[in-house]
Chains A and B, each alone.
Chain A
Amino acid sequence: GAVVSQHPSRVICKSGTSVKIECRSLDFQATTMFWYRQFPKQSLMLMATSNEGSKATYEQGVEKDKFLINHASLTLSTLTVTSAHPEDSSFYICSARDRGGGGYEQYFGPGTRLTVT
C-alpha cells in the first residue's frame, strides 16, 4: 500500500516551453501533497505544499508563476514548469500524505528528471 507514482519519469524539453509533471497517490487519498526539488548530490528542497481544493503554499524564493501547482483531486497533483530554462533542470520529487493514516507520514514518488536544453 501507500504507493505514489509520478509521470513522466524523464522529460527533455526545449528552453521556453512548459512541462507538466503528474503526481498520483494510487491506493490512498491525499489531502496534502508536497513538491521537492533535488539538485545533483544535494538534499531535497521543499518547493511547495499542495492542498486539495485550495491554492498551494510556496516556500520562500520559489516563483509561483513559474512553478504552477494544481491539486484538483484527492489523488492527483500536478506541477507545471512554465517557460522552462536550463537552470530549471533538476530532479523533481513529490510526496503525499495519507488522509486516513494519521497524517504524519509522507510517501514519496520515484521522481521526475527534467532536462531543459
Chain B
Amino acid sequence: AQSVTQPDIHITVSEGASLELRCNYSYGATPYLFWYVQSPGQGLQLLLKYFSGDTLVQGIKGFEAEFKRSQSSFNLRKPSVHWSDAAEYFCAVGRRAGGTSYGKLTFGQGTILTVHP
C-alpha cells in the first residue's frame, strides 16, 4: 500500500527566507508525485508534479521539487517566500497500477506554512 509522510506539521518562516517542505513516500514502484496547496476553506491547487524524466521539477509560483528515489523523498522548495504563500501544503503519491483505482491519490498529513513579515 502506498503512504506519504510529511514530518513537519507546522513551519514558520520569515518573508524572503528560503523554504523546504519535506515529503517521504512509500510505494512499490516509481510513483507519481504531487504537491498541492490549500488555502483555508478552499479546494486544492496543483503546484507541481513528477511522472518521469528529470528529477527536478518546476512548478507554479516559483516552487520546485526534487525526486530522490534513494531517499524516497519529494521535497518542495522555494528560494524566497512571499506572505501570500501562507497556506497548507499537501504531498501526494498517485497509483500507477491499472484497474478502477488507477490514479488514486494518497495524501500526506499536510504542512501548515506561516509567513512572518
A residues sitting closer than 8 Å to B (CB atoms) are: 4, 6, 32, 34, 42-46, 49, 51, 54, 57, 91, 93, 95, 97, 103-111, 113
Residue A43 contacts which of B46, B51, B108 (CB distance < 8 angstroms)? Answer: B108
The A contact surface, by secondary structure, is strand
Residue of B nearest to A45 (CB): B107
Residue A34 contacts which of B43, B46, B105 (CB distance < 8 angstroms)? Answer: B105
Size range of the chain B interface in the assembly: 20 to 34
Task: Give per-residue flags for B53-70: 1 if the beta carbon is below 8 A from chain A beta carbons, else 0.
Answer: 000000000000000000
Interface window among B12-20, B22-30, B94-102: B94-102
Question: What chain B residues lie within 8 Å of A46 (beta carbons)?
Answer: 104-106
Report Cα–Cα, A101/B63, bound state, in Å: 23
A57 and B105 contacting across the interface, CB-CB below 8 Å: no
| A46-B105, A49-B100 known; A105 vs B43 contact (CB < 8 Å) | no
B109 and A97 contacting across the interface, CB-CB below 8 Å: no
| A43-B109, A104-B51 known; A110 vs B43 contact (CB < 8 Å) | yes
Task: Give per-residue flags for B35-58: 1 if the beta carbon is below 8 A from chain A beta carbons, else 0.
Answer: 010000111111001010000000
Question: What chain B residues lie within 8 Å of A49 (beta carbons)?
Answer: 100-101, 104
Top 9 closest A-B pairs, CB basis?
A: A108-B44, A110-B43, A108-B43, A43-B107, A44-B107, A111-B43, A57-B100, A43-B109, A43-B110
B79 at the interface (CB under 8 A from A): no
Report Cα–Cα, A104/B92, bound state, in Å: 12
Report Cα–Cα, A44/B4, bound state, in Å: 12
Report Cα–Cα, A109/B43, bound state, in Å: 6
Residue B90 contacts which of A44, A57, A91 (CB distance < 8 angstroms)? Answer: A44
24 pairs of residues in contact across A and B, judged by CB atoms under 8 Å: A6-B43, A34-B104, A42-B110, A43-B90, A43-B110, A44-B44, A49-B100, A49-B104, A51-B100, A57-B100, A57-B101, A93-B43, A93-B44, A95-B44, A95-B105, A97-B103, A103-B102, A103-B103, A104-B32, A104-B103, A105-B49, A108-B45, A108-B46, A111-B42
